[in-house]
């Protein structure tokens, strides 16, 4: 009626949501939607989570749905995997993915391989989630990126969100998936606000696992990243744009299965490729992308060798100045782009 009277109706505006709140929304909505879903991990219940991701959920859903565990990753991960085999849908939180090494036998041998080894008769619908990669000043034993480790293993799906929409949509998709999913979050992004569209505010919003997103269109070079480095790529693209270089920025979102088709299509358009990641260089995510491009049809469109930007090949130092030099910065991406373009 208002439209007939000539009044202009504005669409509901997007809102600013932090990655922390997006993850909390996803957990709340999925706990409400499916009674088989439950969350377990260290301090997830009464303390509201070490990073406040599970804030308010214990009070809302109680001890049976949000469970504090002892400090024993092998133990509570084994419980979660067994629960998934029995028909529940656990979300298993690691206080940092570095601690998942205590439980890697459960993640790989018990969760990832069971569907195949049971000829498909046993599904393991479980999500392993928590902060991955470098934080700030937490040194080597709390700073490793596990994208390449878990991306290496058949039987797992591996997702790595950047924005609030990524975090919400991928976590909801992971919880609903019948396969074990490793969700690698960034502690440094938890408090960062992102614009969340009206669509993403819906309780039914999910992001398909295995599909990358082009965050910025460009014509001169393709930048591919996941997690926090996507933001660095966007900043580098803004800097380079002032110099007449237009970067196409691809947010991988999923490490396994990898959306190499989106990367190939971009390389065919730009003829140049730079990969960016916070993990170590050897056998890394960027190395896999470069190999896949070399082996596929897009290789013939490259005008220069692909360039990788990675973390330094050292255990993460504690000192801030050394830490900064061990993690890819915007200036490193700008340098790599100019190297690829020979400018």
Express each pLDDT in 173-205 by its tens digit: 999 999 999 999 999 999 999 999 999 999 999
Cβ-Cβ contacts under 8 Å for 67 (sequence gap 6 or more): 38, 39, 40, 41, 44, 45
Q: Which residue in the list 142, 220, 226, 232 is annotated as catalytic?
A: 142
Q: Which residue in the list 29, 30, 42, 73 is annotated as catalytic?
A: 73
Q: How confident is the model at residue 10 (pLDDT cuts 50, 70, 90)?
A: low
Q: How confident is the model at residue 72 (pLDDT cuts 50, 70, 90)?
A: very high
Express each pLDDT in 209-232 by its tens digit: 999 999 999 999 999 999 999 999
Distance from C-alpha of 289 to C-alpha of 275, rounded to nearest angstrom: 8
Sign of CA dihedral 325, 331, 334, 338: negative
Helix (H) or strand (E) holding 150: helix 147-151
What is the reported pTM?
0.93
CATH code at 16-201:
3.40.50.970
Domain at 213-341: CATH architecture = 3-Layer(aba) Sandwich (3.40)
Query: Which residues of the chain does CATH 3.40.50.920 include?
Result: 213-341
- In this predicted structure, the answer to whether residue 6 has a pLDDT above a threshold of 50 is no
142 as an active site residue: the answer is yes
């Amino acid at each position: 009626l208002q439209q007939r009277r000539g009044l202009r109706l504005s669409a509901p505006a997007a809102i600013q949501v932090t990655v922390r709140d997006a993850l909390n929304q996803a957990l709340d909505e999925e706990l409400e939607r499916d009674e088989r879903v439950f969350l377990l991990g260290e301090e997830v219940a009464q303390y509201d989570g070490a990073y406040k991701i599970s804030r308010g959920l214990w009070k809302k859903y109680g001890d049976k749905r949000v469970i504090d565990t002892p400090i024993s990753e092998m133990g509570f991960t084994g419980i979660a995997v067994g629960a998934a085999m029995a028909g529940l849908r656990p979300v298993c939180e690691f206080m940092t993915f570095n601690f998942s090494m205590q439980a890697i036998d459960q993640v790989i041998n018990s969760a990832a391989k069971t569907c195949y080894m049971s000829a498909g008769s046993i599904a393991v619908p479980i999500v392993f989630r928590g902060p991955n990669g470098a934080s700030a000043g937490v040194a080597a034993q709390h700073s490793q990126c596990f994208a390449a480790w878990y991306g290496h293993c058949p039987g797992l799906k591996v997702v790595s969100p950047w924005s609030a929409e990524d975090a919400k949509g991928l976590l909801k998709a992971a919880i609903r998936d019948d396969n074990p999913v490793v969700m690698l979050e960034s502690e440094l992004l938890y408090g960062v606000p992102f614009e969340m569209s009206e669509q993403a505010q819906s309780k039914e919003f999910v992001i398909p696992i295995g599909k990358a997103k082009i965050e910025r269109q460009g014509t001169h070079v393709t930048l591919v990243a996941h997690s926090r480095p996507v933001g660095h790529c966007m900043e580098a693209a803004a800097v380079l744009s002032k110099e007449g270089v237009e970067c196409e920025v691809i947010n991988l979102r999923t490490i396994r299965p990898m959306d190499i088709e989106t990367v190939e299509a971009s390389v065919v358009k730009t003829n140049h490729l730079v990969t960016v990641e916070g993990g170590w260089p050897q056998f890394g995510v960027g190395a896999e992308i470069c190999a896949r491009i070399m082996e596929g049809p897009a290789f013939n469109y490259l005008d220069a060798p692909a360039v990788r930007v990675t973390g330094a090949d050292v255990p993460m130092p504690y000192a801030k100045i050394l830490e900064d030099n061990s993690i890819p910065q915007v200036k490193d991406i700008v340098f790599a782009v100019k190297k690829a373009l020979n400018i």
